Amino acid sequence: MAEMASALDRDVTYHTVGARTVTASGGDGLSPAGRLAYRASVLARGYAAGAIAYQWMRSEMVLRSAPKNRLVHCCSHMAYGGYPWIGDYENVNVLAFYSSRLLRNQAFTAHLRHMFSHPSCRAIRVWSATGARSFYSLFPETEIRHKICVVQPAIRIPLEAGRRPDRHTPPRILFLARGFWVKGGPLFLDAVSRLRHDFEFQVDFVCDLPPEGEHYRDALAGVVNFHEPNFSRQELYSRFYANADIFVMLGMADSYGVALLEASAFSLPIVAMRLSSGLSDLLGATKNAIQVEPAHQIFDGCGTQKGYVELYRANQ
C-alpha cells in the first residue's frame, strides 16, 4: 500500500506484466489467431458494449497474472495485488479510445462513472491541469472529482544528455514521431520544402513515411535524412537527441508529449503547436518552446476534443 500511495507523489518504475508487453505495437508477438482476435477486439471497442468488455477483459487478464506484492501498471491504471487501484490517464479522451461517439454514449459513460465511483478506485491520476479539467467536464460527481489529482510524468535524465557535442553549423533539426498524418509529418516536410531555399539546415526525420509521402525522399534529398521509427530509447538518445539542435513536434492530436520531456532533458529548444491540452501545459512549465498557433483547435478549453461534452450533455 505504501508503494502504491507513493506513486501519487513521484515517478515510479512500474512492474509490467502479461499482455502489456505484446499489445503496445498492435499485437506483435502474438500467434496468427491471437493477432486476429486482437484486431477483432480493437474493432469491437468502437462500440459501447465492446469497449466495456475490452477494458474489463484486458484488466482482468493482466491483473490475474500480477504478483500479489508488487505495484502493477497495466491498461491505464495502477493496481496493488489486483485491488485497490489508481487510474493513470493523459486526459478523459483516452477513456473512450478518442471516440466522440463513445463519450456521448450513456451506457459507456455510466460504466465509467461506476468504475470511478467504486471504493476500490482510490485515485485518478491525470498528467496535466488541462487533463484534470477534462475529467471535471465529464464527471460532475463530487465523489469522483475528489479522487482526481495531477501528477505530471517524469523521466530519468539520460546519461547522454550530459555529453552533448558542440552545436552544429548548419543546425540539425529533429522530428521524432510515430504516425505520419496525426503527428504533422506532411505539415513539417512542406515547411522544410519552403524554408530550405532561405536557410541552411539539416533534418533527421524519424517517422513512418506512407506511400503517399514517398515523393518527399527525392524532393528533399540532401536536406532531410529519413529514418523509420524503430529505434530503442537508448539509440534515440545517443544517435538523434544528442546530435540535434532543435526539436519539432507539430501534431494536432497530442494531449501530452513524453518526447517533449526527452527533448527538454537534452536542453533542446522546441517548436510545437499551441494546443488546449497538456502539451501546452508542459511547454509552459519547461519555458523552452516556441508555440505556433494552429489554424484550428481540436481540443476545447477543458482539454477534451471539441464537441464531446456538449454532445454528451445534450444527450442527457
Tell me what the pLDDT averaged over the chain comes to: 78
pLDDT digits (tens, 9 = 90+) for 6-24: 444 443 333 333 322 223 3
Q: Is there a contact between 294 and 275 (Cβ–Cβ < 8 Å)?
A: yes
Percentage with pLDDT > 90 across the chain: 28
Contacts of 289 (CB under 8 A, 6+ apart): 260, 269, 270, 271, 272, 283
pTM strictly above 0.75: no
Backbone angles phi, psi at 135, to 5 degrees: -70, -40
| Domains identified in the chain and CATH numbers | 2-150 (no CATH), 159-292 (3.40.50.2000)
Residue with cell 492530436: 253
Rg (CA), the chain: 21
Backbone angles phi, psi at 77, to 5 degrees: -155, 160
- Does the pLDDT at position 315 exceed 50? no
Q: Which residue has the higher pLDDT, 198 or 2?
A: 198
User: For residue 276, how many C-alpha atoms fall within 13 Å in the half-sphere facing its CB?
Assistant: 13
Q: Which residue has the higher pLDDT, 288 or 9?
A: 288
Cα dihedral value 280, 285, 286, 289, nearest 10: 40
pLDDT digits (tens, 9 = 90+) for 108-160: 999 999 989 988 888 898 888 888 988 998 899 999 999 999 888 778 888 88
Q: Which residue has the higher pLDDT, 224 or 63?
A: 224
Q: Is there a contact between 136 and 302 (Cβ–Cβ < 8 Å)?
A: yes
- Does the pLDDT at position 309 exceed 50? no
